[in-house]
Amino acid sequence: MTTSAVVDQMELGDHVCWFHDDEADGLDAVGRFAAAGLRLGHRVVCFLDVLSAADVRASAARHGAACGPAQLAGELRIVSCGDSYLAGGRFRPERVVDALAAEIASARREGHPGVRLVGDMAWAARRPVDLDTLRRYEAAASALFLDGRAAGLCLYDRRVFSPDRCQAVMSAHPAAAAPACGPRWTPLLRARRTADPVGLRLVGQVDRSNRDAFAALLAVVTEQAPARRPVVLDLSGLTFVDVRSAVTLVRAGPRGVRLVGCRPGLARLLELVRGGLAGAD
């Protein structure tokens, strides 16, 4: 499958971990992602490390974007990792999440239908960033996409990140992709916030590859729910949930979470999990 086919499947609301094995693949993904966004009127903000601003602009131009005028108009912004992830000299996850939220809000105020965020994460392989801190940051960032106003593409080079680190950061994203994905690739999990009723609509699958993101999204929605109103999770679009994530769902019940639309297989799994947890108590 081509990089273009993967990027073309992404929508506002998606947060995808993109694994690559050389800079050319990463650059191609960023260029296509940026060009597609600019054609749709999105603001594109690229936080770069090993990829250069000139190369990103050239790649986007090859894919049809008029990067000169767009950049001058503020539609394509390129920011170094030193001015974003490592502002102030060290990585502070909460500050970075707040800065991303500000980018999304700014794009909306200025009339853009959406914003595309690119994170070149190579810096995290050189800095003494604790793996759990990096994983928690990515999981927390996933909540920024729930309202369908932004799409995020995070680049991880498998030559500099160990398999364990790749597994951890992948689990913190709802979906992951790579140049070798099959022709039927779509984001493994899509989560969108609902207003009436207050909650989430979930489509796809939850397994080992994205369960940390799933747990983080559920936690955010329950914490932000209005008092005395249950959070409703629409599970009608879920085709698979692994056992650990089913435990997360069941344990959310006492916090005022109501599950609707469960398919028969999922309903049976949740019943078994409830029984197992009750027996353990």
The pTM of the whole model exceeds 0.85: yes
b/e code 89-127 from CB counts within 10 Å (16+ = b): eebbbeebbebbeebbeebbeeebebbbbbbbbbbbbee
Each of the 281 residues of the chain gets a pLDDT tens digit; together they read 467 677 888 999 999 999 999 889 999 999 999 999 999 999 999 999 999 999 999 999 999 888 777 776 789 999 999 999 999 889 999 999 999 999 999 999 999 999 999 999 999 999 888 999 999 999 999 999 999 999 999 999 999 999 999 999 999 999 999 887 877 889 999 999 998 888 999 999 999 999 999 999 999 888 877 777 788 999 999 999 999 999 999 988 766 788 999 999 999 999 999 988 877 75
What is the Cα–Cα distance from 199 to 160, expressed in whole angstroms? 38
